[in-house]
Structure 1
């Protein structure tokens, strides 16, 4: 991000500057959302693995 800033800071419009100011936070939130989704998928998969007894979760 710093390299991008160095190369373009003097050419950015006010709306682009606003986007740039929020880009790092937006990327962090997106990664946290992806982590939550992947954790949910992992829980579904692990609960559907054969375990003790014939009953399965039925997620897949």
Structure 2
């Protein structure tokens, strides 16, 4: 069975513009993967990431604005 894990070691992460310096709930996303948006918890950068398709991520962001 092929692995379904994405290699995110080369990802450049950016923190949400709504993040602040007090260590609250923050997410980071990477724009390095065409057609996919990896998302992770900024407090656990070595932890797992969830990968969304571009259209699903766009719909999510549009709906929370």
- State whether TM-score is above 0.5: no
TM-score bucket (shorter structure): under 0.3
Using the size of structure 1 for normalisation, the TM-score is 0.24
| Higher-strand-fraction structure | 2
Q: Which has the higher contact order (CA 8 A, sep 6+)?
A: 2
| Higher-helix-fraction structure | 1
Using the size of structure 2 for normalisation, the TM-score is 0.22
